[in-house]
Structure 1
Amino acid sequence: MRIGVDSEVCEAHGQCSIVDMDLFPLDDDGYSAVGPDREVPEGEEDTAKLGVDACPVRALKVLS
């Protein structure tokens, strides 16, 4: 499974990082540092989906 963030949509709410700071790191300004295409470690798929769903502006996506 892969996730990605549209950095032009992210508004630095940080809700994804509250779900899991390791899967959803933030940069120094509070914006998502996930990048456009990140592999989700095996066994973390459900947590990744929760983090994606937590984004109030839908900047995060499940890619596969």
Structure 2
Amino acid sequence: MKIVVDRDKCVSLGICEGLAPDIFVLNDDGELEVDELTAVPEGALESVRSAVSGCPVNALRLVEVD
């Protein structure tokens, strides 16, 4: 699985960072930093799923990696 961020929807509330701080980080400018090209580590998948479902503007989603 990998993370896809809709940058047009993201309003940088930081809920994802609170739920999965090892994966999601808001930088000093308040912008979300996440590596969208790398597969989510298996041990982090549960917290990432929580972050995706907890995003109030639906800016995050998980997709299968081929």
Q: TM-score range by the shorter chain?
A: 0.7 to 0.9
CA distance in 1 between partners of 2:4 and 2:37 (Å): 5
CA distance in 2 between partners of 1:34 and 1:5 (Å): 8
What are the residue-to-residue correspondences of 1:38-57 with 2, within 5 Å? 38-57=38-57
Question: Once the 2 structures are TM-superposed, how far is the Cα of residue 31 of structure 1 from its aligned partner?
Answer: 2.4
Aligned residues: 64
Structure 2: segments with no counterpart, 5+ residues: none
Moved more, 28-37 or 43-52: 28-37
Question: Once the 2 structures are TM-superposed, how far is the Cα of residue 36 of structure 1 from its aligned partner?
Answer: 4.2
CA distance in 1 between partners of 2:9 and 2:37 (Å): 15
2:23 is aligned to: 23
Instruction: Please give the root-mean-square deviation of Cα atoms over the aligned residues, in Å.
Output: 1.5
Q: Give every structure 1 segment of 4 or more consecutive aligned residues whose post-TM-superposition deviation is greater than 2 Å.
A: 35-38
Structure 1: segments with no counterpart, 5+ residues: none
Alignment identity in percent?
Answer: 38
Secondary structure of 2:46's partner?
helix
> Which whole-Å deviations, capped at 9, do the CAs of 1:8-36 have from their partners, x for residues lacking one?
11001110000021111112222221254
Query: How does the TM-score come out when normalised to structure 1?
Result: 0.83
Q: Which amino acid aligns with 1:14?
A: G
